[in-house]
Structure 1
Amino acid sequence: MAHAWQWLRSLVFVIQIYAMMGIIGILFFPAALLTHHGARYACKLYCRWVLWSARWMVGLRGEVRGEVPSGDLIVAAKHQSFFDILLIFNALPAAKFIMKRELLWTPVIGQYAYRIGCVPVDRGKRGMAIKKMVADVAKGKKLPGQLVIYPQGTRVAAGVKKPYKVGAAVLAEELGEDCVPVATNVGVFWKRTGIYRKPGLAVVEFLPAIPAGLPRTEFMARLEEEVETASDALMREAGFDPDAVD
């Protein structure tokens, strides 16, 4: 009975957050057209609405740990669900994301992503995709901020192991910027698919920066080790054993 009640609360929560996405998107669209600051304000407002409503509607709290970075740098984050995007964007002063080009055509999300400086990338052959990513980021340097990339390339369920792609290392090398790894346990509570939202404390943790200039192989080994180790610790803290997942 308790599970069914939580599922029903989760359903209402999911419906209202997408309704609010449309409402906020429409209300702030003129401001977003005028300036990227207007678009960013609307996105931050939406993040705060979801964080606030998740707390009282489904009992899910969000917490940010570690030193939140600022300035021009790369943020390489573990990605488990939509909730970690919101926590990271709300915490960073000027986040912009490496994103699939198809998302540009998503109502509201696509228009606002473009206005805050997100970098769309075509999926395809890895070499071509990486070259285009670096070129697009270089073109977008006029809009400062923290460039967020998901080194595994997609959402990954809690406890599931998926290889890291080289894009974050290439960006750090080509742009000469430090990279801040980010761990999370969000997927324990808000899964990558489905309606159910589990109550508890969802955390994103900013880890110490990996300095620019490391060899690519060393960078990738360090990034994966630090993000996976910290994420596993956060998931265990939440009562989830990542080693028990097949």
Structure 2
Amino acid sequence: MAYAWRWLRSLLFNIHMYVMMVIVGIVFFPWALISRRGAFAGCTFYANWIIWTAGWMLGLKSEVRGEPPTDEVIIAAKHMSFFDVLLIFSAIPAGKFIMKREILFMPIIGQYGARIGCVPVARGKRGAAIKKMVEDVASGAQEPGQLVIYSQGTRVAPGENLPYKVGTYVLARETGQDVVPVATNIGVLWPKRGVVRKPGLAVVEFLPRLSPELEKSDFMAQLEDVVETRSNALMREAGYEV
């Protein structure tokens, strides 16, 4: 009975999440159309709304640890679910994401993603996207902000072991920007697949910066070690045996 009730609450929450996406997208659209600031306002309102409603509808509380950056940096994040996207975005002033190109053509998400400066990546062409990003930064075409990249390239469920891709290092090296690693435990409470969302404390943690001046092997080793070590510790806090 307890599981059935949790499943129903999760289903209602998921429906509300997509309904609110449409409502917020429509309400903020005129402002977003004429101003990038309006797009950020709409995305920030939506992220904060979902974080708030998850707390009382699901018992899914959230916490941001560490020091979220406010300058131009690259954020190399562990990606477990849609919820970590919202938590990271709500914690930084001008977040933009490297995202799959298919998302660009989705209603609302695609339009707002493009408006805030997200970088679409075609499957198998991450190198080309990084090259374009570097060129845009050099020419001033990209608006300043915090660029979020998922170093493993996709959502990763607890227990999965996917390699870290070199794109984060290349982007940092070419732009000269520091990299802020981010760990999370969200996949324990908000699974990669399925309806059920679990009560508990979801955490994203901003970790000490990595310098773009590091050698590639050192950079990649440090990035993977710090993100995986902290993510494992946070998952243990949430009751998951790593």
Q: Into which bin does the TM-score normalised by the smaller protein fall?
A: over 0.9
Q: How does 1:46-85 map to 2 (within 5 A)?
A: 46-85=46-85
Return the letter of the residue paired with 2:208: P
Task: Report deviation, 1:129.
Answer: 4.9
Measured in 2, the distance between the counterparts of 1:136 and 1:80 equals 29
SS at match of 2:187: helix
Return the letter of the residue paired with 1:150: Y
- Which runs of structure 1 show a deviation greater than 2 angstroms over 4 or more consecutive aligned residues? 125-142
Q: How does 1:56-205 map to 2 (within 5 A)?
A: 56-125=56-125, 127-136=127-136, 138=138, 142-205=142-205
Percent of pairs with identical residues: 64
Structure 1: where are the runs of 5+ without partners?
none
Q: In the TM superposition, what whole-angstrom CA distance separates every residue of 1:181-221 from its partner, at most 9, and x where no partner exists? A: 00000000001111100000000000001122111111111
Measured in 2, the distance between the counterparts of 1:138 and 1:232 equals 37
> Residue 233 of structure 1 corresponds to which residue in structure 2?
233
Q: In the TM superposition, what whole-angstrom CA distance separates every residue of 1:19-57 from its partner, at most 9, and x where no partner exists? A: 000000001100001111100000000011101110111
TM-score, structure 1 normalization: 0.95
Task: Report deviation, 1:174.
Answer: 0.2
Distance 1:103 1:137, change over 3 A: farther
SS at match of 1:61: strand
Distance 1:60 1:90, change over 3 A: same
Measured in 2, the distance between the counterparts of 1:122 and 1:193 equals 23
Distance 1:140 1:199, change over 3 A: farther
SS at match of 1:28: helix
Q: In the TM superposition, what whole-angstrom CA distance separates every residue of 1:127-147 from its partner, at most 9, and x where no partner exists? A: 445434534554565411000
Measured in 1, the distance between the counterparts of 2:192 and 2:49 equals 20
C-alpha RMSD over aligned residues: 1.4
Does structure 2 conserve the Cα–Cα contact (< 8 Å) formed by 1:123 and 1:129?
Answer: no
Q: Could you tell which deviates more after superposition, 89-98 or 126-135?
A: 126-135
Distance 1:34 1:203, change over 3 A: same
Q: Could you tell which deviates more after superposition, 131-140 or 4-13?
A: 131-140
Task: Report deviation, 1:159.
Answer: 2.0
> Residue 11 of structure 1 corresponds to which residue in structure 2?
11
Measured in 2, the distance between the counterparts of 1:83 and 1:194 equals 14
Does structure 2 conserve the Cα–Cα contact (< 8 Å) formed by 1:68 and 1:206?
Answer: yes
Distance 1:19 1:139, change over 3 A: farther
Q: Does 1:39 align with 2:39?
A: yes
Q: Does 1:30 align with 2:22?
A: no
